């Protein structure tokens, strides 16, 4: 799928890019130099910064998966499920440093990166590099096994939003809205709360992500874990 050409302007910075993997083909600095890290198509995070020591995210396109199992169980299961070599072992980092540490000196992702932590019985994997989006619900089902799992993410520059809800190993909701690919739309199942607030577009998914009660309790530190990227020719897992 080809992305449309996009342009982003903020605080004296203008960047334009095409659909080739989120790599900028032109940027204009109207003020001072900066370092650019761009996200992949679905989910992940992007950051514009003018100070290498500044870890503030000023542009976020979040996605996450969370499982209602203890973190050791979740990590063992995730490792088998993703099915790619480990680039770095899990290392404890400040949450705000995760993007910087997940990139090399040129600003490119070192691989498929997640930041993980545990909150209220849920193990959360925040997708830093955007490689967890667009998977079929049955792939998430294989990760959930017989447990509860939620995957959700959005990207307001595409625009795109995706939600998969699994309860006791059964997919009860699968939704995908990509404004640039109507054929990819998925709208299966319903959640109880949709009687009052139905999920119709990517904007509804974005609201769920932004208001997620578990993510709102995210700790200041987590484990940064990087596996080989499918973009580097690694397999898709099992």
pLDDT digits (tens, 9 = 90+) for 190-233: 999 999 999 999 999 999 999 999 999 999 999 999 999 976 54
Q: According to the model, what pLDDT value does residue 66 have?
A: 97
Indicate whether 238 belongs to any domain: no
89 contacts 209 by C-beta, under 8 angstroms: no
Distance, CA of 127 to CA of 102 (rounded, Å):
11
Residues 223 and 159 in one domain: yes
Q: According to the model, what pLDDT value does residue 236 have?
A: 53
Q: Is the pTM of this model over 0.85?
A: no
Q: Measure CA 203 to chain center.
A: 16
Residues 138 and 108 in one domain: yes
Residues 32 and 50 in one domain: yes
Distance, CA of 67 to CA of 120 (rounded, Å):
11
Indicate whether 207 belongs to any domain: yes
For the chain, the domain total comes to: 2
Residues 208 and 101 in one domain: yes
Q: According to the model, what pLDDT value does residue 62 have?
A: 82
Q: According to the model, what pLDDT value does residue 221 have?
A: 97
Domain that residue 42 falls in? 6-60
Q: Which of 17, 36, 60 is the last residue of a domain?
A: 60
Q: According to the model, what pLDDT value does residue 40 have?
A: 40
Q: Low-confidence residues of the chain, pLDDT below 50?
A: 1-60, 233-235, 237-238
Q: According to the model, what pLDDT value does residue 112 have?
A: 95
Residues 48 and 71 in one domain: no
Residues 187/203/147/167 CA torsion (nearest 10 deg) = -50
The torsion region of residue 12 among left (phi > 0), alpha (psi -120 to 50) and beta comes to left
Residues 68 and 56 in one domain: no
Q: According to the model, what pLDDT value does residue 232 have?
A: 57
């Amino acid at each position: 799928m080809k992305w449309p050409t996009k342009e982003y302007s903020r605080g004296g910075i203008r960047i334009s890019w095409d659909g080739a993997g989120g790599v900028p083909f032109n940027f204009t600095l109207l003020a001072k130099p900066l370092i650019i890290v761009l996200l992949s198509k679905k989910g992940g995070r992007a950051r514009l910064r003018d100070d290498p020591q500044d870890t503030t995210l000023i542009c976020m396109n979040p996605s996450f998966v969370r499982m209602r199992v203890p973190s050791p169980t979740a990590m063992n299961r995730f490792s088998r499920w993703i099915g790619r070599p480990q680039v770095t072992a899990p290392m404890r980092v400040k949450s705000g440093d995760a993007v910087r540490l997940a990139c090399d000196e040129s600003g490119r992702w070192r691989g498929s990166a997640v930041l993980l932590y545990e909150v209220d019985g849920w193990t959360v994997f925040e997708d830093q590099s955007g490689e967890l989006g667009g998977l079929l619900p049955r792939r998430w089902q294989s990760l959930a096994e017989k447990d509860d799992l939620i995957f959700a993410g959005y990207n307001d520059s595409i625009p795109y939003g995706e939600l998969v809800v699994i309860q006791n190993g059964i997919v009860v909701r699968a939704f995908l809205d990509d404004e640039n690919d109507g054929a990819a739309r998925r709208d299966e199942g319903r959640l109880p709360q949709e009687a009052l607030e139905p999920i119709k577009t990517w904007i509804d998914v974005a609201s769920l992500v932004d208001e997620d009660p578990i993510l709102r309790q995210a700790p200041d530190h987590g484990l940064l874990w990087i596996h080989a990227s499918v973009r580097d020719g690694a397999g898709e897992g099992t």
